[in-house]
Amino acid sequence: MMFQGLTILAFNNGQFNSKTLRQVLSLGPTYVVMKFIESSLDVLMMYGAYSTTRRLALSRIFLRFIWFTIVSVVVCFIYVKSLKSSAIVRLYVIVVGIYGGLQFFVSFLMRIPACHRLTNQCDRWSLMRFINWMRQERYYVGRGMYERTTDFMKYMLFWLVVLGVKFVFAYFLQIKPLAGPTKIIVAMTNLTYSWHDFVSKHNHNALTVASLWAPVVAMYLLDIYLFYTIISAIWGFLLGARDRLGEIRSLGAVHKLFEEFPGAFMNTLHIPLPDRTSQSSSSPVRNFMHLCFFVVV
Residue-wise pLDDT tens digits, 45-60: 887 777 777 777 788 8
Do 152 and 168 fall within a single domain? yes
| Percent of the chain predicted with pLDDT > 90 | 19
239 plus 280 within the same structural domain: no
Between CA 133 and CA 143, with CA 137 as vertex, the angle to 5 degrees is: 105
Residues 80 and 164 reside in one and the same domain: no
206 by DSSP, 3-state: which?
Answer: helix
Residue where one domain finishes, among candidates 146, 165, 200: 146
Considering 98, 115, 146, which residue would you say is the last residue of a domain? 146
Q: Is the pTM of this model over 0.85?
A: no
Whether 142 and 163 share a structural domain: no
Q: Are residues 73 and 188 in the same domain?
A: no
Nearest residue to 116 via CA among 142, 88, 86, 145: 145
Non-local (6+) Cβ contacts of 62 within 8 A are 43
Q: Which of 249, 253, 254, 266 lies closest to 294 in space, CA to CA?
A: 254
| 3 within 8 A of 170, measured Cβ to Cβ | yes
Judge if 134 and 29 occupy the same domain: yes
Backbone angles phi, psi at 34, to 5 degrees: -65, -40
* Domain residue limits at 58: 1-146
For position 294, what pLDDT does the model report?
A: 42
User: Domain check: are 24 and 127 in the same one?
Assistant: yes
CB-side neighbour CA atoms (13 Å) of 34: 8
Residue 144 carries which DSSP code? T
Q: Is residue 17 domain-shared with residue 93, that is, in the same domain?
A: yes
pLDDT mean over 156-166: 92
Tally of structural domains, the chain: 3
Give 1's pLDDT tier (boundaries 50, 70, 90): confident
Q: What confidence tier does 138 reach under pLDDT thresholds 50, 70, 90? A: low
Mean pLDDT of 253-281: 64
Same domain, 14 and 136: yes
Q: What confidence tier does 142 reach under pLDDT thresholds 50, 70, 90? A: low
Do 152 and 137 share a structural domain? Answer: no
More confident residue, 290 or 41: 41
- 152 & 197 share domain: yes
> Which amino acid type is present at position 86?
S
Q: How far apart are CA 141 and CA 48, in angstroms?
A: 26
Do 230 and 276 sit in the same domain of this protein?
no
pLDDT at 236 over 70: yes
Domain stop point among 94, 116, 146: 146
Q: Is the pLDDT confidence value at 296 over 60?
A: no
